[in-house]
Amino acid sequence: MILYNVTVRVDADIAEEWLNWMKSTHIPDVMRTGYFVDYKVMKILQPAQEDDSITYAVQYFCEDQEKLEAYWQKEAPALQKEHTDKYSDKALAFRTVMEVIQ
């Protein structure tokens, strides 16, 4: 199992609207691609941000690396562009990939 983690630092003034959009639109769009079997959304508590922002981790679970790579090639560019177009520098994301061992 592969874990595709998207960590997003969101300006506090849009955090509630961003989270609602993620739950109602973006995450369902990602899941409809068929590449992921589950997801989780978490708010990062520690370390606390020194500025006025909130950090979230959105974790998508994929069966294998090949499916994740197919997602990146076929679906991710448009979905990431939609996020960037909507939130610009008010919601900055970075991505990591992990293998679930246990």
6-61: per-residue pLDDT in tens? 999 999 999 999 999 999 999 999 999 999 999 999 999 988 777 889 999 999 99
Q: Where are the domains of the chain?
A: 2-99
Which overall architecture, per CATH, does domain 2-99 show? 2-Layer Sandwich (3.30)
For 68-86, what is the mean pLDDT?
A: 98
pTM confidence score? 0.93
How many other CB atoms are there within 10 angstroms of residue 16's CB atom? Answer: 11
Question: Which of 49, 28, 62 lies closest to 92 in space, CA to CA?
Answer: 49
